[in-house]
Amino acid sequence: MISAPFSNESAAGIAHVYRGTFVHATYHTAVEILEDRLLGVDTEGKIAFIGSGKEVDRLSQKWGFEAFAVTQLGQHEFFMPGMVDTHIHASQYSYAGTALDMPLLQWLNMYTFPVEACYKDLEFARNVYTHVVKRTLRNGTTTACYFATIHTDASLLLGQIANDLGQRALVGKVCMDTNNFIPHYKETPDESELETNRFIGELLKKKYPLVRPVVTPRFAPSCSATLLGHLGEIAQNNDLHIQSHISETKEEVSLVKELFPDYDSYTDVYHRHNLLTDKTVMAHGCHLTDGELKLFRETGASIAHCPNSNISLCSGMLDVRRVLNHKVKLGLGTDVAGGYSPSMLDAVRRTLDTSKALTIQDTQYHTLTFEEVFRLATLGGSQALSLDENTGNFEVGKDFDALRVNTDAAGGPIDLINHGEGPKVESNLLASSGDDRNIVEVYVAGKRVVPFVERP
């Protein structure tokens, strides 16, 4: 039994109590299965206690809830932590699943920049952003780290929509002052600094409980040293999260070397502009050197592994085992629309596929296990975003961000087959054929946000 570290007298009142199976990761165990447990959520949405289901009478007296009010999970149901998408472009959702016919740099110029330029139209932005937040919540993403566009008002709108729909989110107004292919889709360094400060100030003024700003240089090839310096100073002065891209393709790495010849590496470009901190998450990192990974470890910066995108754009295959061996924090990302799926379940599967592809190339390779990848999709993601004090697993004091999963959901994709005394097959949900149809409820900070309750 996991006991609460504080007394009933000092706790907020109990709002909900659930009984059943809880599956999560800890800092020491990739997958821990807690069977017949009672979990109490207080009125502030935090986990107040976790105890044995057999002690319902004692716990109800201690915590002041009625035993008959406990929500009992079904035979084929369990709770798992909400999944954390450490890298997704909300502004690219409108063309997800298309336009994957060219490599990264050409893809950006042909498809991405022209579409992102449309977000000066707030109604267009509202339509797409509402759809992407709703879709990712349905897919079980309780926390998302979003790229928006260079448009401040549209980026603020994304923060508002995430707040209104109940998703935990880091939202970034994109910063870029170099764009030779779509000249109207960029800012000057001074404009970008001014608008970034406006974005941060206005978003923080809203006091959204679950939405925070993240400083967002698009990537080094689209930012001058002057702009990178401005952004590093803004992040440092305001103690903010930072997100960008790094070493996604070999062509990109070569371009950075040409643009920044006086720097030791791609990583060094960010580091020398104060953009590599323990609140930094960099997407991809497929071609980082050991020296660069050492710098990640020393600064506490993390990597968002986006395997769907890496394969779809033929960018490369990140050796996750190597990153973990360097003790660098790592989470998973969908990277819509380079990745064609907004589902973190897909990111789990593509992570396993990439690891197995590396094993095909080297039979001595230490393939990732499903259990390890489950942790990366939940607790690992929260660590990568420096949010693990609040979310990522079921620990007393953390917010109750959770998915209620039914492996036998009506109309679902899984056929449960009785194996008699053989091994249980329900744990295969994430690694095999399960999808969002098996996710019947989604909770963020104790509040049920899926199914959606539409406002009148």
Instruction: Give the per-residue pLDDT at 453.
Output: 66
Rounded mean pLDDT, 404-419 = 84
Look at residue 413 and give its three-state secondary structure: coil
Does the structure show a pLDDT above 80 at 7?
A: no
Would you say 426 and 447 are in contact if contact means Cβ atoms under 8 Å apart? Answer: no
pLDDT, tens digit, for every residue of 156-177? 999 999 999 999 999 999 999 9
Does the structure show a pLDDT above 50 at 216?
A: yes
> Hunting for tokens 């903010």 — which residue is that?
240
- The proportion of the chain whose per-residue pLDDT surpasses 90, expressed as a percent, equals 88
Helices 225-238 & 189-206 angle (0-180, nearest 10): 20
Whether the full predicted model's pTM is greater than 0.85, yes or no, is yes
Helices 152-165 & 189-206 angle (0-180, nearest 10): 20
Cα distances from 388 to residues 80, 81, 149, 338, 395, in angstroms, run: 15, 12, 27, 27, 10
